[in-house]
Chains A and B, each alone.
Chain A
Amino acid sequence: MSTSPQTLTSKDVAKVGLLARLALSEADLERMTGELSKIVGFVSMLGELDTADVAPLAHPLDTQNVFRDDVPVASLSTAEALQSAPRHDGSCFLVPAVLGDSGAA
């Protein structure tokens, strides 16, 4: 891994903004590019460490195989499920129109 500080371009940040569904103005982009570059720079300090002999870590806890039985438990009522939603119709959550294909799976 390279140890030189990484710099981001405003194009990189615009893309990250798009993936995060954030509408960034030109001024936002300029500020974010500087701030994010600094953050990436801090993290890139890790590249100075020699990790050649360190096994990859999948999880910080030294625990494995936590399961539950396939037994149904009571769900929330629909009213409870919807109570914190900004908008609902009593049975479904309402969101601004989504047209086109689902992003699922």
Chain B
Amino acid sequence: MSTTAPYTTIIGLEVHVQLMTRTKLFCGCSTKFGGAPNTQVCPTCLGLPGSLPVMNRRAFDLALRAALALECTIAPFTKWDRKNYFYPDLPKGYQISQFDLPFSSDGFLEVVDPKGAFEPCRVGIVRVHLEEDAGKSMHDEAAGTGDTRIDLNRAGTPLCEIVTQPDLRSPQDARAWLNELKLLLVYLGVSDCNMQEGSLRVDANVNLHIPQPDGRIAKTPIVEIKNMNSFRSVERALTYEAARQWEDWQATKAEMGKTPKQTRGWDDPAGITRAQRHKEESSDYRYFPEPDLVPVTVSQQQIASIRGEMGEPPVSLRKTLAAKWNIPAYDADVLVNQGRELVDYFEDLATRVGEGKVASNWMQQDVLRILNETNGTVSDFTVRPEGLADLIGRIKKGDFDTSRAREIFAEMVTSGRPVDNVVAGMGIAAVSDDDVISLCRELLAANPKIVADVKSGKEQAAAGLIGQAKKKNANVNPGKVRAVCIDLIRGME
């Protein structure tokens, strides 16, 4: 944060992610997104009398995986509790959640910027627990019926709730940290973290610490912000809210504890937060142990087995890639941040090319640029690693220079055809060594001044020959022309 601000912004996050299961947490209904309303419901998730929940093994294992990736301590014994509140999208009248014995607690996730634009930001995790989602309420004001429509397809979907310590100090840090969290969970196959489909939701708690002239730190009332639909919205909402609290502080001097915790909703188009109902206190939820679910114990062997199948998290993959392929930390960061598929593409390419840095440069300057321009994904990218490796191999052989290769690459991308095919189609023919030598001889005969300069030791004078060579034969490789010319001139001595 800026050192000139008269306050410190204190931010903690509460993130809900939908786990990548095929079925709900307590019943066999599908969790597939986008089904027609109330087509993925059964007596259990409708909360009908006599139905009983049974825990989804996969959901528990995925939640455990998330907690381990967040360096949490796993509780050897865990249970579920009923969180009681009435809302039409909660058919049982309670949510099955975890209160006093969550399955994990006390972890952290760090985000580091390889360019050093911000300080490494290590955020403590208070707890990760497993709970069920509610359904969806839809109010169609245009229809004017005055009814709210309830779709319970989502009710009972497994969610992992991740609660951070108030360790973040700026809206920018919060956004960067969320990006890292999302990357981690996607890498480990815990969640697809698709915010549009509600697979990842973020609430933020924020207040200000304001140093007073007497040395005391005044703390503004904590506000919980909801309804943020993108990480960009999270950053904007926090920026707005910090400024609003500063204004409010100057006007009212209201401090934490003197007013109840407030919930405010982010209105994205308006760019402001609005006050919502006062949130119930924890005791108002009247938590009690869920009698319909038995407790779960977790052994060290289970933890080891989950760790074994977890895959490499981004933080260590960056280091692995940098060391294995001898590429800068910045390169490894860019590649890893694009996701597992792009890393696999890169490693395939680097293996074929035999040189990590060359492969990395092509990934960043060409593959990623085109993917960004076309909004494409690497899995749909027309040029596969073998095709690109072929092209890079031809540059190394001296068949064409890099700028020519870029033109060929662009054509490979749009046409989906291999190098040779594109080269033939573009009328680009590799120039034979004999042709290059005879061309260079011609140039030397026509440029005695340059020859003399090179002879006197000014090798850079040979650059003047390259433009002429390109005019005579567009397909000629400038580097090769230069080398051949200098060799020939030296041979004259």
A positions within 8 Å CB-CB of B: 19-21, 58-61, 63-73, 75-78, 81-82, 87, 89, 91-105
Contact = CB atoms under 8 A, between A and B. Distances in A.
B149 interface: yes
A81 B41 CA distance: 7
Given A59-B295, A101-B227, A70 B58 contact: yes
A82 B38 CA distance: 8
Nearest to B45: A75
A93 B152 contact: yes
Given A101-B263, A105-B134, A76 B294 contact: no
A94 B22 contact: no
B139 interface: yes
Given A64-B294, A75-B30, A92-B38, 10 more contacts: A58-B77, A67-B60, A68-B28, A89-B149, A92-B37, A97-B147, A98-B137, A103-B87, A105-B95, A105-B131
Contacts of A63: 294
B161 A105 contact: yes
Contacts of A104: 87, 89-90, 133-134
Nearest to B151: A92
Interface stretch (B179-187, B283-291, B367-375, B455-463): B283-291
A103 B56 contact: no
When A and B form their complex, which 6 residue pairs have the shortest distance between CB atoms, in order from nearest?
A73-B28, A70-B58, A92-B149, A103-B87, A67-B57, A104-B134
A95 B149 CA distance: 7
Interface of B: 16, 21-23, 27-30, 36-43, 46, 54-60, 77, 79, 84-90, 95, 101, 131, 133-134, 137-139, 146-152, 159, 161, 201, 226-227, 263, 265, 276-277, 280, 284, 286, 289, 291, 293-297
B40 A96 contact: no
Contacts of A71: 22-23, 28
B294 A95 contact: no
Contacts of B147: 87, 89, 94-97
| Residue of B38, B131, B159 most packed against chain A (CB within 10 A) | B38
Given A92-B151, A93-B150, A75 B39 contact: yes
B30 A72 contact: yes
Contacts of A91: 36-38, 149, 151
B286 A69 contact: no
Contacts of B57: 67-70
Contacts of B201: 105
B296 A81 contact: no
B143 to A, nearest CB: 10
A65 to B, nearest CB: 6
A19 B284 contact: yes
B42 A95 contact: no
Contacts, number: 156
Interface of A is mostly: loop
5 contacts: A19-B284, A59-B291, A70-B56, A70-B59, A101-B277
A100 to B, nearest CB: 6
A70 B21 contact: yes
Nearest to A99: B139
Contacts of A96: 146-148
| Residue of B21, B37, B101, B159 most packed against chain A (CB within 10 A) | B37
A76 B138 CA distance: 21
Contacts of A99: 139
A69 B134 CA distance: 22
Nearest to B16: A105
Given A70-B59, A104-B89, A58 B39 contact: no
B139 A70 contact: no
A78 B151 CA distance: 10
Contact of B54 (A66, A95, A100): A66
Given A66-B54, A104-B134, A78 B87 contact: no
A94 B291 contact: no
A102 B291 CA distance: 26
Contacts of B38: 78, 81-82, 91-93
B90 A78 contact: no
Contact of B265 (A58, A81, A101): A101
B444 to A, nearest CB: 74
A56 B391 CA distance: 69
B95 A67 contact: no
Contact of B133 (A72, A73, A105): A105
Contacts of A98: 87-88, 137, 139, 148
Contacts of A61: 294
B137 A68 contact: no
